[in-house]
């Protein structure tokens, strides 16, 4: 988490946001190892929607930036 915060000095928050989803994976592992708790199907479905929407937004912003860059040059 600390490294993600420090990375904000080098890139925009919108580009780094999808990397925050890696925290979800570590939280699932910690929850299973220490608390013997594993997500049910509804949690997996919610995670799927959260992660796919983040990826979609990230890809959409990259396309928009490329169009702006190509229009300028």
If phi over 0 gives left and psi between -120 and 50 gives alpha, with beta otherwise, what is residue 36?
A: left
68 has a pLDDT exceeding 90: no
Q: Measured on CA atoms in the order 35, 25, 48, 11, is the torsion positive or negative?
A: positive
pLDDT reported for residue 73: 63
* pLDDT computed for residue 8 by the predictor: 83
Could you tell me which of 52, 55, 67 has the C-alpha nearest to residue 17?
55
The pLDDT of residue 13 is 80
Distance CA 71, CA 73 (A): 6
Q: Which helix (H) or strand (E) holds 4?
A: helix 2-6
Give the pLDDT score at 4: 75
Residue 67 in this model has a pLDDT that exceeds 80 = no
pLDDT, tens digit (0-9, with 9 covering 90-100), for 9-62: 988 887 777 777 778 888 899 999 999 999 999 999 998 998 888 788 878 887
């Amino acid at each position: 988490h600390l490294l993600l915060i420090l990375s904000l000095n080098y890139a925009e928050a919108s580009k780094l946001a999808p990397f925050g989803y890696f925290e979800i994976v570590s939280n699932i592992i910690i929850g299973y190892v220490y608390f013997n708790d594993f997500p049910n199907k509804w949690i997996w479905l919610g995670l799927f929607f959260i992660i796919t929407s983040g990826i979609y937004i990230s890809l959409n912003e990259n396309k928009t930036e490329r169009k702006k860059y190509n229009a300028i040059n």
